[in-house]
């Protein structure tokens, strides 16, 4: 099964997450099929906190990919932010 989930990057006390499409059997930091965005929970001024490629996410979901709970909430908030702008 294909999933869309977060994979952690960055240093200690400096979390940074890539939003990736991967096989659910792969380990969390393992090989991914495609990177579709990033999430920076401690973004400073001027830095983007979240960037997603919604067209690619929609494509993978239409192909049967499942989203993790956190990714689903991030996509929902990003869509609201995009329509408001």
CA-CA-CA-CA torsion sign (81, 18, 42, 47) = negative
Q: What is the pLDDT of residues 9-54, one digit of tens each?
A: 888 999 999 999 998 888 777 788 999 999 999 989 999 999 999 9
pLDDT score at 29:
76
Which class is domain 2-84? alpha beta
Listed by start position, the domains of the chain span 2-84
Mean pLDDT of the region 44-72: 94
| Residue owning tokens 């991030």 | 74
Indicate the pLDDT class of residue 55, thresholds 50, 70 and 90.
very high
CB 64 within 8 A of CB 2: yes
The H or E element that residue 34 is part of is strand 34-39
Q: Are 34 and 56 in contact (CB under 8 A)?
A: yes
């Amino acid at each position: 099964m294909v999933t869309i989930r977060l994979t952690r990057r960055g240093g200690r006390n400096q979390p940074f997450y890539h939003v990736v499409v991967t096989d659910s059997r792969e380990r969390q930091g393992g090989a991914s099929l495609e990177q579709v965005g990033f999430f920076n929970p401690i973004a400073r001024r001027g830095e983007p906190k979240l960037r997603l490629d919604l067209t690619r996410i929609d494509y993978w979901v239409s192909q049967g990919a499942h989203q993790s709970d956190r990714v689903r909430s991030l996509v929902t908030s990003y869509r609201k932010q995009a329509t408001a702008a």
